[in-house]
Structure 1
């Protein structure tokens, strides 16, 4: 947002934690920007639990971003307990497994050189074959719930913790409508 000669950042993210820059120094700079009224909130991306704690001790974090999906649950072990304890939100990117959990990719899928998935390990032929049982399970659960696989993956994520706000990416308005449909569905035991 811009005003008369000034810029205001609603949320200032540090997209990747710089390994050679002390986290406390970064947090101190952001704290100064917040005190000047130039930044309202700040967050980290792909930060360890230790980095989150160090940053938060200098300047309270609003959110942490990391990859998280039914097939990649690594943040649950150390990041989630830290976020819960410090009352910090979680913004998972790739909640649909880079489209894998939408049900549109199968063992025969191949990606042209230059396409984003082309170089990712999970999209190589052997990995596709290995990961398909999870996709079939998501499809089965989605069908049982009366939703699309993408909706089910998002519903599952939204049911994990109240402080999770996934950011599924798309360039297709129909996909966006599909994703938004997940907001009104709840999982029940």
Structure 2
């Protein structure tokens, strides 16, 4: 019993030491992100895989049909994700500003279809929303989100190639920068 207590205390002390060293090293997040970015995934310049998913109310849609030859901002989210809820009004305004010729926004909820329907009833958006089951081969993972962070966004050029990826909420200024890049690189 005493040996187990010593082992538990040692493990906890080690964990506290790791957390303390990370907290005092401002560059740890950058180094971690750089290491994770070395993992093969959809990166800038890579073609986006074919995406064919159901809408919350039924029916299936392909990303290529929704984009219709336009740049597309794919935003992965979930109904239980607080930062996703905070980001969605900016995405909705952005989608409306882009109109029929700008960047198409497509939301992909990594969630249950019933939960997504209820969420969208309370928080409607003007852009298309699709549903995928969260898991090791979900759309987010296929688009490079190896950490499973939500929200997660990918900007895809009109040519179907990844321009940018972002883990975490996007701000209005980020969206404007992304739109300018997508429209500048339009084929």
What TM-score do the two structures reach when normalised by structure 2? Answer: 0.27
Higher strand residue share: 2
Q: Which has the higher contact order (CA 8 A, sep 6+)?
A: 2
Of Structure 1 and Structure 2, the greater helix share is in: 1
